[in-house]
Copies of this chain bind each other. A is one copy, B any other.
């Protein structure tokens, strides 16, 4: 029953895993720690201490500017972990904080290194996941730089839907999105006011529906077009498209 382990599901969506690999992953993720909402796991300027792995809940990477502005530079959904090689860095160049309460596993650098050295199939899977993270950051750059405001939000909704579905945290056409409009604004480079209006526009176009936390995608095809969403950057083995 590895079906509910998000790390296993995620890695399995990127490449083939052997039974032994899955067992090892189960072991590593056996004892998560509960972290409340809105707590920093690690802060810019801190010395990194290994890899964080989110098993449940939602966390984000972010940076703050001197003027107080915040930019979210990535989300960690269940199964996601922060860079494999952080141990090489002296200092973190960004912060990671929880959005909701999370169950988090902290994996010491030595353990990570051990896996990378002795389990080539897993190493491959983990490296692949790291590549997808980097590709996702680049895709976000495209969003903020060149997509319209509607497109940015639409793109984010499409991406999170696929990512959550891959780890069994989303239904076919709906999911729980515990982000505030402030979070969305800090992610897409907009203001909260405009996020509010843009979401309404998406609703009025009949593309999405749902008050507050619950999102239902009413017209995925149209949403993809509006978002210019091309899921290739997620590098899923089975296309990762619509069910």
Which A positions have Cβ atoms within 8 angstroms of B? 44-45, 61, 63, 65-67, 69-71, 73-74, 83, 85-86, 88-91, 93-94, 124, 127-128, 130-131, 133-135, 137-142, 144-147, 186-189, 228, 232-233, 235
Contact = CB atoms under 8 A, between A and B. Distances in A.
A85 B131 CA distance: 8
A88 B131 contact: yes
10 contacts: A65-B142, A86-B131, A88-B124, A88-B127, A88-B131, A90-B235, A93-B233, A137-B137, A144-B189, A145-B186
Contacts of A186: 145-146
B144 A63 contact: no
Q: State the copy count for this chain.
A: 2
A90 B65 CA distance: 37
A142 B73 contact: yes
Nearest to A138: B73
A138 B135 CA distance: 11
Given A88-B128, A131-B85, A140-B141, A146 B93 contact: no
Residue of A93, A124, A137, A188 with highest tally of chain B CB at under 10 A: A93
Given A131-B85, A146-B69, A232 B91 contact: yes
A233 B131 CA distance: 18
